[in-house]
Structure 1
Amino acid sequence: MKWLRRPSWFALLLTAAGALLFIRLGVWQLHRADEKDELLRRYAAADAAPLRDFAAVALTPPANAFARVHVQGEYLADRAYLLDNPKHDQRGGVEVYAPFRPRDGERVLLVDLGFLPGNGTDQAPQLPALPVGEQTLQGLYLPPPGVGFEMGGDALARQAHWPKTTIYLNLSQVATDLGAQLYPQVLALDADPAAIFVREHLLDFSSMPPARHRAYAFQWFTFAVAAVVILLVLHRRRPTKPSDKS
């Protein structure tokens, strides 16, 4: 190619390394989009799934589905955890979790009671009393909310009164706080029109939905193309001026 000067090995290696890195990042973003699409599909299918006995999936939840279960037992009296960072149409409020001991269960099950809207102040909403005696619950047996970077250590250990508030729900910290082993997932109760809680248990991909992963993938692939174009532009031969031939 007469219009192109031979690039140095360093330029070729740098361009190849950069382009391969960008392509790899783009493929990774596409994989993440596919994974979230699959999670959304499994979540939608769970609503129509038949109820299963909690004991059958308690310690070994299905890897390729979200189990819809029913369980009998009792709530632990006067114990509740308030997750202070859920998003429900940008309203203030908390997601409320209560420990529940299944009948004949060896561990404690954390139950997601639902979202309790705020009261227009910085104070936590007033919680209704938990029902006493044996209860029959049903809902989706789901992984707990993701834990982000926690600053300041275990917030639950520093609180002496219930309910306790946290911005990240860490099952290990809850287990330590209760002095009991927990089941590996939480029970998100089915919607109940008579309940004060709002139960819209949707997978929260608002900050990074599948479509955004695909947009980032396109961006990375564009960077890979740009790296090659920059190499070609920097090494193209400049047209010879007539004065240069004399």
Structure 2
Amino acid sequence: MKWLRRPSWFALLLTLAGALLFIRLGVWQLHRATEKEDILRRYAAAETAAPRDFAAVALKPPADAFARVGVHGEYLADRLYLLDNPKHDQRGGVEVYAPLRLRNDDRLLLVDLGFLPGNGTDQSPQLPPLPVAMQELHGLYLPPPGVGYEMGGNALARQTRWPKTTVYLDIAQVSADLGRSLYPYVLSLDPDPGAIYVREHTLDFSAMPPARHRAYAFQWFTFALAAVVILLVLHRRRPASPSDRP
């Protein structure tokens, strides 16, 4: 290539290392996009799947699937927890959780009743009474919401009135607050058009959906190409000026 000066080994190695790093990052982003799309497909399939035996997944939920289960039990109707999380509604609101005493079982199951929209004020929404009779419930057996950064410590232990409000939900803290053992996951009830609660079975990938992973992958691949182009531009032979000619 007469138009290209021979680059130094250092320039070649630096460009190769940078390009390989950018390509690796791009491939990783594509892999993450594929992973999340697979999770979304399995999640959607679980919503219409036949209910599984709860005892089979209660203590060891499947790591590669979302289990839809059916349970029988009675609500502890006076022991409600409100997760202050206005992600569904611009007016704010709370996600409501209720412990369920299963039939012939000492361990409690925390039930996600759904999201209750706010009323535009700082006051908690009015909660409808829960049934006190034995209930047959169906829903997805899901990990509890992440606790995030626990500012201020355990808020449940400082409250004496029910329902109790928290900005994060920790199964261990709820268990200690109730003085009873809890199952590790929560039951997210199936959608019910007649319920006052908003029940949307969605995974929160809004911060980083699969499409954004692919956009970042394109960006990393562009950086790899740019590293090669910069090497070529910096080592391009310049046309000889009249003063350089014999």
TM-score (normalizing by structure 1): 0.90
CA offset at residue 9 of structure 1? 3.2
> Structure 2: which 5+ runs fail to align?
none
Indicate whether 1:126 and 2:126 are aligned.
Answer: yes
Indicate whether 1:188 and 2:181 are aligned.
Answer: no
Secondary structure, aligned partner of 2:7: coil
Distance 1:211 1:205 in 2: 10
Distance 1:168 1:216 in 2: 30
- Of 188-197 and 88-97, deviating more is 88-97
CA offset at residue 5 of structure 1? 2.7
- Corresponding residue for residue 46 of structure 1: 46
Distance 1:144 1:68 in 2: 15
Distance 2:8 2:153 in 1: 52
Amino acid corresponding to residue 121 of structure 1 in structure 2? T
Distance 2:168 2:152 in 1: 12
Amino acid corresponding to residue 198 of structure 2 in structure 1? V
Secondary structure, aligned partner of 2:30: helix
Q: 5 Å matches for 1:160-175?
A: 160-175=160-175
Secondary structure, aligned partner of 2:105: coil
Amino acid corresponding to residue 60 of structure 1 in structure 2? K
- Of 82-91 and 194-203, deviating more is 82-91
Distance 1:147 1:219 in 2: 32
Amino acid corresponding to residue 44 of structure 1 in structure 2? A
CA offset at residue 70 of structure 1? 1.0
Distance 2:9 2:106 in 1: 65
Distance 2:244 2:100 in 1: 87
CA contact (8 A) 2:89 2:117 kept: no
CA offset at residue 19 of structure 1? 1.9
Distance 2:147 2:9 in 1: 45
Indicate whether 1:101 and 2:84 are aligned.
Answer: no
CA contact (8 A) 2:52 2:69 kept: yes
CA offset at residue 218 of structure 1? 1.0
- Corresponding residue for residue 238 of structure 2: 238
Distance 1:116 1:21, change over 3 A: same
Number of residue-to-residue matches in the alignment: 246
CA offset at residue 89 of structure 1? 5.3
Amino acid corresponding to residue 211 of structure 1 in structure 2? A
- Corresponding residue for residue 61 of structure 1: 61
Distance 1:2 1:153 in 2: 69
Q: 5 Å matches for 1:1-246?
A: 1-88=1-88, 90-246=90-246
Distance 1:6 1:180, change over 3 A: farther
- Of 199-208 and 14-23, deviating more is 14-23
Distance 1:146 1:32, change over 3 A: farther
User: Percent identity of the aligned residues?
Assistant: 80
Distance 1:233 1:157, change over 3 A: farther
- Of 119-128 and 162-171, deviating more is 162-171
TM-score (normalizing by structure 2): 0.90
Distance 2:19 2:167 in 1: 39
Distance 1:64 1:196 in 2: 32
Secondary structure, aligned partner of 2:140: strand
> Structure 1: which 5+ runs fail to align?
none
Secondary structure, aligned partner of 2:88: coil
Distance 1:128 1:145 in 2: 23
Amino acid corresponding to residue 107 of structure 1 in structure 2? R
Secondary structure, aligned partner of 2:96: strand
Distance 1:213 1:2, change over 3 A: same
Amino acid corresponding to residue 110 of structure 1 in structure 2? L
Secondary structure, aligned partner of 2:122: coil
1:195-231 deviations in Å (ceiling 9; x for gaps):
2111112112222211111111111111111122122
